[in-house]
């Protein structure tokens, strides 16, 4: 029987609640199908690790992950530690260390979810946002000069490389081509950002020639937010920079019902390194430790993990079960207006897998 080695990094806050829930569901799925199994290794990295060791993960931590088949991640972010330390010390270290340059974020309205766009049907809102995940605004290039001085200057440069933009564009066109509508919207800001974003637009036009069957258009990022609200059915696959896609995908998740539902994969399409799957949300300080976290975003991330492993049938089974569970309002967590707990939703998913 095939064994997949999965690294589990719950991290901080509700990450510690939803990653174990994801492991429980993956184990239930493996047990019910009996064609593969998982070996989980847990890594207690994050804020607690930082308090003990002064770093979010060990310096050689990537080596412990390198040979895993995939990584299941929770969230980096601790109420007592500055956000840029937790983010750069753990999640971005892994994403950038393993060159997981494609961040893929599907959004749709699952059955039974009361999405805020009242006239919007599940057919109207079915998107995938492709986020450039290795450079751009989060390249980490910049600094502070004369820190604290009235004349202080601080910069975070947006760095885009031709190779980096070409590979994410090609990934996005290919993904759009694989979806029924073959429709790609290239999100841009080339009116104001007149160097990197102009190159971004030129590369989009260049790569589009490799995909003559994909219909594509361009939208400025500010206009894109309005289009998501006003004309959701005109969108299908979107590609955007690291920062733009980060923002657009939280909006997308909220429009589809809750931040707690939305999944993502940080993918190395060339498979040189393990890819990492996680819900798009963070540590959720306001609800951590209370059993209120919606685990659906993590379960959907597990679907993406299974697809990445090539376990298409298991992925489809888990997605179908997730949809059965969201269809039942008694199994909605508080973010969806219900009163179910993380454990109750997890148990309901496991029970339906076994049924
Ligand atoms: P957040 O996603 O943690 O929370 C935003 C809001 O959504 C909160 O009201 C929260 O309760 C709610 N929410 C999020 N996930 C939920 C779930 N599964 N179920 C129910 N409700 C949910 O964003 P934030 O408050 O901006 O950030 C908190 C911390 O998380 C910060 O330290 C931030 O840097 C970090 N963060 C980490 C990641 C990551 O590791 N990938 C992503 C985003 C934020
Ligand atoms: K996360
Ligand atoms: Mn985000």
The residue with tokens 């190779």 is 163
| Residue closest by Cα to atom 16 of ligand 1 | 260
**What mean pLDDT do residues 14-29 have?**
98
- Model ipTM? 0.99
The residue with tokens 């040979």 is 67
pLDDT the model gives residue 353: 98
Ligand 1 near 293 CB (within 6 A):
yes
**What mean pLDDT do residues 169-194 have?**
98
Ligand 1 near 75 CB (within 6 A):
yes
Give Cβ neighbours of residue 72 (< 8 Å, ≥ 6 apart). Answer: 6, 7, 8, 9, 19, 22, 23, 26, 276, 277, 278, 298, 301, 302, 305
Length of the chain (residues): 355
Ligand 1 near 84 CB (within 6 A):
no
**What mean pLDDT do residues 293-301 have?**
98
Confidence band of 118 (pLDDT split at 50, 70, 90): confident
**What mean pLDDT do residues 203-231 have?**
98
In the predicted structure, residue 159 carries a pLDDT above the cut 90: yes
Best mutation site among 87, 110, 259 for ligand 1, i.e. most ligand atoms within 8 A of its Cβ? 259
- Asked if 17 and 287 count as a contact pair (C-beta separation under 8 A), the reply is no
Q: pLDDT per residue over 336-351, tens digit each?
A: 999 999 999 999 999 9
Provide, rounded to the nearest whole percent, the portion of the chain with pLDDT above 70. 100
Provide, rounded to the nearest whole percent, the portion of the chain with pLDDT above 90. 98
- DSSP string computed for 214-274: -EEEEEEHHHHHHHHHH-GGG-SEEEE-HHHHHHHHHHHHHHTT-GGG-EEEEE-TT-SS-
In the reported structure, the alpha carbon of residue 31 is separated from the centroid of ligand 3 by a whole-number distance in angstroms of 33
In the predicted structure, residue 119 carries a pLDDT above the cut 90: no
Domains of the chain: 1-100+271-354 (3.40.718.10), 115-256 (3.40.718.10)
Ligand 1 near 83 CB (within 6 A):
yes
Confidence band of 46 (pLDDT split at 50, 70, 90): very high
Q: How far is 41 from 6, CA to CA, in rounded Å?
A: 6
Ligand 1 near 297 CB (within 6 A):
yes
Over the chain, what is the mean pLDDT? 97
The model's pTM is 0.97
């Amino acid at each position: 029987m095939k064994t997949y080695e999965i690294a589990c990094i719950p991290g901080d806050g509700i990450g510690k609640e939803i990653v174990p829930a994801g492991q429980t569901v993956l184990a239930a799925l493996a047990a019910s199908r009996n064609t593969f199994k998982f070996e989980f290794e847990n890594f207690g990295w994050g804020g607690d690790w930082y308090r003990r060791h002064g770093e979010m993960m060990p310096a050689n931590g990537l080596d412990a992950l390198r040979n895993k088949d995939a990584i299941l991640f929770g969230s980096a972010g601790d109420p007592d530690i500055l956000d840029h330390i937790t983010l750069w010390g753990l999640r971005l270290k892994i994403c950038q260390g393993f060159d997981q340059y494609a961040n893929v974020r599907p959004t749709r309205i699952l059955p039974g979810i009361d999405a805020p766009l009242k006239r919007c049907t599940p057919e109207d809102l079915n998107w995938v946002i492709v986020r450039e995940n290795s450079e751009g605004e989060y390249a980490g290039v910049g600094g502070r000069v004369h820190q604290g001085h009235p004349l202080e200057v601080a910069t975070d440069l947006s760095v885009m490389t031709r190779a980096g933009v070409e590979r994410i564009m090609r990934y996005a066109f290919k993904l759009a081509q694989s979806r029924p509508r073959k429709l790609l919207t290239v999100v841009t800001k080339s009116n104001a950002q007149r160097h990197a974003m102009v190159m971004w637009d030129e590369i989009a036009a260049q790569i589009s020639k490799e995909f003559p069957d994909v219909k594509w258009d361009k939208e400025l990022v500010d206009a894109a937010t309005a289009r998501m609200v006003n004309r959701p059915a005109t969108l299908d696959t979107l590609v955007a920079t690291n920062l733009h896609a980060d923002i657009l995908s939280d909006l997308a998740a909220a429009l589809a019902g809750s931040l707690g539902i939305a999944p993502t994969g940080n993918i190395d399409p060339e498979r040189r390194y393990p890819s990492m799957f996680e819900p798009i949300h963070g540590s959720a300080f306001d609800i951590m430790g209370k059993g209120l976290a919606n685990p659906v975003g993590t379960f959907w991330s597990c679907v993406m993990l299974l697809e990445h492993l090539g376990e298409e049938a298991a992925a489809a089974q888990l997605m179908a079960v997730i949809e059965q569970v969201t269809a039942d309002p008694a199994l909605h967590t508080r973010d969806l207006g219900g009163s179910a707990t993380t454990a109750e939703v997890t148990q309901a998913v496991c029970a339906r897998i076994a049924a």
